[in-house]
Structure 1
Amino acid sequence: MQDPNGTERVATQLHQACRDVGFFYIQGHGMSGSVSNGVRQEARRWFNMPAHVKEQIALNPHTAFRGYQQLGANVTRYDGGFQRDWHEAIDLYKEEADASASPVHGQNQWPSHSPAFEAVLRQYISGCLSIGQAVMRGIAQGLGLQDDFFESKAGGLTNAESSYWVTRVIHYPPLQEGKQESGGAAVKGSSEAAAGGEIDRAVQLSCGEHTDYGLLTIVNQDPDIPALQVKNARGEWITAAPIPGTFVCNIGDMMRVYTNGAYTPTLHRVVNADPSRSRVSVPFFYETAFDAEVAPVAALLKDNKQPMFNPVIYGRHLESKVLSNFELGGSAAAAAV
């Protein structure tokens, strides 16, 4: 039998975390270690394969921006330019049959030449869909809404069947002082970044500072390599250190719209300053349906407060971000967040 007091307590904690921090850890999530650890272990083996093998599933516009991208292809943009992120990755999305409806619609390029990796990756995605739905029910309850609000049309049809989910499998090699990457800025300043300081935009990072595009991000990270950093309300960069058995989660841009600014996504970045070890992370992005209209929730507009945000069609918002997130062969193209 469920404990209503326990459920209410968790919902309150989620509300406080989303309102005040934008990041939180979850435990007791129900995913077995054989899946959460196994997907990282298999990913590490896959990223150690020769480049010509990985390039068999290379990402490009003709693959609906799904597949493998080499080191430095993913970029973080800012006013006046971009910086190349020092990681390689595989991007996957919810698969859609009608590829003509969007430049990101299509079928995934699964790492089929590594059957164990593909199998555990599919298990991982299925598990994250269940976790995402459960967490969003807690967030809805914490907001004072029906716990299935986000599964309704008004809440973006955000459920395990309709979510336009995104998964990134990411390998972060060590940042090295003074090393030059092809076509990019020097990989330097990692010590300052690792210490939580502000750094110049020209300094290479594992992943530059950004907020996520959608609803909820679930991060499965190596347990012994602290690299994820979060900018707190005082403007300080704080390490979101791995806690064994947990996932670290954060909210994205669409939660700001739904809550009319009550929840604000938090800037974060990745800095793998360990000189001898690489890091693997498998973030899962639990999102609304692609065609969902995201708008401030009427029930949250108290005291005659007016909406501060115009409605957003999530899929178009995603496209606008995705199509500027890569530099492939010197031309701008994109992939998932």
Structure 2
Amino acid sequence: MSVPLIDLRPWRDGSAADRAAVAAEVDAALCESGFLLVKGHGVPDELRERTRALAREFFALPESTKSRYAVTVGGRGWLPPGVEANAGAEGQRTPPDLKESYTVGADQPVGIPEIDAFWFQQNLWPAETPEFGTAVRAYMARMRALSDELLTIFAASLDLPADFFTRHTDRPTHTFNINWYPAITHTGVPQDGQFRIGPHTDFGTVTVLDRQVGLGGLQIFTADGEWVDAPYDPAAFTINIGDLMARWTGDRWRSTRHRVLPPDPSAPHEELVSLVFFYETNHDARIASLPAPVGQTTYPDVIAAEYLKEKLDAITVG
């Protein structure tokens, strides 16, 4: 399964032919695997490193301190161990995922109380790590800009108007999860069927992942039914699409199952931090499958926020 490394600089700075070549590469990757790596993205390494380092400071706090910021799935703050099982989105019953998360996201209300109360909650910033909020806000701004650029490339790759997708992202829902995968010395031996993140597909349009490589790392499920380790480049972001985008393109592009392996006993001190930006659309966007020759399947139309809420409910433990 091909997960190519694509340089975005020719898209930004090259000729029309260069831009078309990048768009064609992206289309091929999303058709085959639903995953790609991108470099030349313009996000400073120091911002990525600082965001991860400040997150580690938070996760190193005593549980009694972190619990002041505890929330459930869909909230803004600390997701403690035991509250999420991603395989639930596939209807599987598994032990909870072996991770902790700090979750923030879109926080500019749209003026509809029932929408704002869930999708545009105010972000919660831990007082114990005062620089954390500044770094995370800067990182999220970069992620949103990169995601909109990717959606513009997606449109070009399908010969659609440049704003075909981004016309639906002027007031989008988006979530930024900082996932801490503790070492096995912290979690204990995993239960049968327990992962750092269980098998699932993502739910939205595009996911931008800044991850660390490890024995208990990311795997992708191939079209041949095999789990393979995801390729890694420290300078690149890992990109994949979610279910809404697969529906939108009528299954031209794959929303591919993936998982994060449990901590490995042969690396007892391995702990990893992943920065995961989930981009979506405006809460009220109606997602309708593109017809042939782009689409292969016609799904019933869905309203983005309604579809996403069902998925979040499915992965909530308890």
Q: Under TM normalisation by the shorter chain, which class is it?
A: 0.7 to 0.9
1:71 is paired with a residue whose SS is coil
State the one-letter code of the partner of 2:227. W
Aligned to 1:171: 180
CA distance in 1, matches of 2:17, 2:216: 34
Q: How does 1:212-251 map to 2 (within 5 A)?
A: 212-222=202-212, 227-251=217-241
Contact residue 77 and residue 102 of structure 2 kept, 8 A: yes
1:55 maps to 2:67:
yes
Of 60, 68, 71, the match for 2:78: 68
Question: Deviations along 1:83-118, whole A, 9 cap, x unmatched?
Answer: 300000012221143442366232122234312211
Equivalent position of 2:103 in the other structure? 91
User: CA 1:2–1:8 in 2, change beyond 3 Å: closer, same or farther?
Assistant: same
Aligned partners of 1:178 and 1:48: how far apart in 2? 14
Once residues 175 and 48 of structure 1 are traced to their aligned partners in structure 2, the CA distance between those partners, rounded to angstroms, is 15
Shifted more, 5-14 versus 65-74: the winner is 65-74
Structure 2 unaligned runs (5+)?
Answer: 1-12
Pairing 1:150–2:177 present: no
Shift of 1:60: 3.8
> What letter is aligned with 1:287?
E
Match of 1:198 in 2: none
Q: 1:206 to 1:80 in 2, by over 3 A?
A: closer
Q: In the alignment, does 2:123 pair up with 1:108?
A: yes
Q: Which residue of 292, 295, 306 maps to 1:301?
A: 292
CA distance in 2, matches of 1:80, 1:206: 15
Q: Contact between 2:284 and 2:305, CA under 8 Å: does it hold in 1? A: yes
Equivalent pairs: percent with the same residue? 27
Q: TM-score with structure 2 length normalisation?
A: 0.86
- Secondary structure at the residue paired with 1:266? coil
The runs of at least 4 aligned residues of structure 1 exceeding 3 Å deviation read 96-99, 175-180, 223-226
Q: 1:252 aligns with which of 231, 242, 251?
A: 242
Please give the alpha-carbon distance, in whole angstroms, between the structure 2 residues aligned to 1:253 and 1:94: 20
Amino acid at match of 2:201: T
Q: Deviations over 1:227-277 (max 9, x none)?
A: 011011111111114311100010100111111111121000001423212
Asked whether the equivalents of residues 140 and 148 of structure 1 are also in contact (C-alpha less than 8 Å), the reply is yes
Q: CA RMSD in A?
A: 2.3
Cα 1:162–1:326 change in 2 (3 A) is same
- 1:141 paired residue number: 156
The answer to whether the Cα contact below 8 Å between 1:226 and 1:241 also exists between their aligned partners in 2 is: no
Q: Which amino acid aligns with 2:149?
A: A
- How many residue pairs align between the two structures? 298
Contact 2:214-2:272 at 8 Å conserved across structures: no
Instruction: Determine the structure 1 residue equivalent to 2:50.
Output: 38
